Structure 1
């Protein structure tokens, strides 16, 4: 549409710039990558776990902080070892409370490699030093497989546990677990894929919202890292896309009804203002803020390096059955 009056342009552009809410505030230790955030039930303390080394543990009394680093969940690393990673560099934690224990799933791999494995550690409190490595859960990948076994995400459906995982190659897969600590013999199956580009889908997170009766599958889509060295083409950087289904095991579609296994995915959050490349996301119900989306992002006023990525969070609202930031 062409506007005859240039005075309308600032209003139009301003509206577009405000399409997404800015991240909630953060103080203290705000660096993170692929965060997992959970609130401890005994005292409502917040814990945040991040990719790298033995999984950094940070703690706060509110989402805004101040966040304090407690050290590492597994300072000695994992007993799992794969080519290119001896077990000292753990990725993409995903933390849940099951019964009276906290379960932390993590991945072992090396950048760009399909050789990967998913492991588990458990704790009664989530404090640094309280975690016990349980080793591999039986979900792994090697060259030639259709998937890459990183970015684990657990969802419980009734008495069934499902593990979502994957990155690039055949994109996002799911497998039922025989119990929270073991894979069993069930075969994995594809729940999201694209046929274009480099298959840059990863970091999936699934949650159920009782207000709509749908399961929502959130995916990090695009190039995640190294923005200080090479900036992706505009729009090719990380963003969070979503699909939904009445079933946790498949048939996910986007807002236009396009299947998530055929390249579907509606944008939940993308670059805007000083926020660049948001991704590595998850969702949890906060006792103070309700349903919250959390993620990492680059603050363009600070810097584009991976070492400068920050913790972001927003309350979710709903529109026509879909979450909105």
Structure 2
């Protein structure tokens, strides 16, 4: 297992994967170091990320971790490339259902509080649901606030993979897997829905993530099989819209409710099945894709899929998000953290 994440100082960044361009005016220098993927080698699928007021980054993953079950494992980092364990989100399982796992969390800070939205589901679950918890400390523990909804209550099969987008402080929930991606407004306290749902993307997608850039909204969604070790076909595709609630289109103008958008990252360079991403911005304004992948030859820890944490810079040079070469990097320059 590799412990050292930075390459020797004599290694330059030329020829390595990373964002092009210079730091913005006023930024105090830039990094000369480089890092290697994966940035956290323990099992850490379906990552989300939030940055705390003190600048620390916290990432959250699905309950399974290959060593023991942690109730939403949490890792922290000051630079996005060196991650250490910070704890777990829950001291005990939420009690609004039994016999399920805590999958694919998303954390957002609003109303001066950290909100953790989570899937509560099992393999082959006919009626999974989404819950919400709150906490003052991003390192946990979080206090469960109960069920947001189950699939039969909202009219969406396979209601998992929540992601919350704040538009001018107002929260919107995106969710769904293989039965369409949907969005709905949340109440200002984040604890219930309001209004009607809108279909955003088709049955190809899961793991939705949305960002705003240059007055447009960009949708990221994972396509393919996530959890089959070296046979996994997971990869990330994108769409964009002038409106948060769509319609989202690919580069060819086709609606994501019927079509697949352009590839952001797919398997290659020694990694398989990259997907279920989050996006975070460094202090120079560069966007970074956090996602999981398999490393070739290391598909499982016992019976648990060994999906590891990866970080790559997003290149927006053609108006669409991609990582360099559309494959995970082995080595790249580190993010710029002031």
Q: TM-score, normalised by structure 1?
A: 0.80
- Report the more deviating stretch, 277-286 or 172-181: 172-181
Within the candidate set 154, 166, 189, 2:164 is matched to 154
Distance 1:90 1:191 in 2: 24
Match of 1:106 in 2: 118
- Shift of the alpha carbon at 1:254? 0.4
| SS of corresponding position for 1:312 | strand
Match of 1:315 in 2: 313
In the alignment of these two chains, the number of paired residues is 286
Distance 2:154 2:140 in 1: 37
Distance 1:208 1:114, change over 3 A: farther
Match of 1:72 in 2: 88
Distance 1:27 1:284 in 2: 15
Are 2:34 and 1:31 equivalent residues in the alignment? no
| SS of corresponding position for 1:125 | coil
| SS of corresponding position for 2:173 | strand
Runs of 5+ in structure 2 lacking a partner? Answer: 1-14, 19-33, 64-69, 324-338
Are 2:44 and 1:46 equivalent residues in the alignment? no
Match of 2:208 in 1: 204
* C-alpha contact 1:23 1:314 (8 A) present in aligned 2: no
Distance 2:276 2:49 in 1: 11
Distance 1:69 1:288, change over 3 A: farther
- Report the more deviating stretch, 296-305 or 250-259: 296-305
Match of 2:79 in 1: 62
Distance 2:95 2:38 in 1: 34
Q: Give the alignment of 1:236-251 within 5 angstroms.
A: 237-251=233-247
* C-alpha contact 1:243 1:255 (8 A) present in aligned 2: yes
Q: Which has the higher contact order (CA 8 A, sep 6+)?
A: 2
Distance 2:285 2:296 in 1: 26
Match of 1:14 in 2: none
* C-alpha contact 1:29 1:58 (8 A) present in aligned 2: no
Match of 2:336 in 1: none
Distance 1:321 1:32, change over 3 A: same
- Shift of the alpha carbon at 1:227? 2.2
Are 2:174 and 1:164 equivalent residues in the alignment? yes
Distance 1:307 1:223, change over 3 A: closer
Distance 1:46 1:24, change over 3 A: farther
Are 2:286 and 1:275 equivalent residues in the alignment? no
- Shift of the alpha carbon at 1:58? 1.2
Distance 1:111 1:200 in 2: 18
Match of 2:254 in 1: 258
- Shift of the alpha carbon at 1:29? 5.4
Runs of 5+ in structure 1 lacking a partner? Answer: 1-17, 194-198
Distance 1:183 1:144 in 2: 12
- Shift of the alpha carbon at 1:185? 4.4
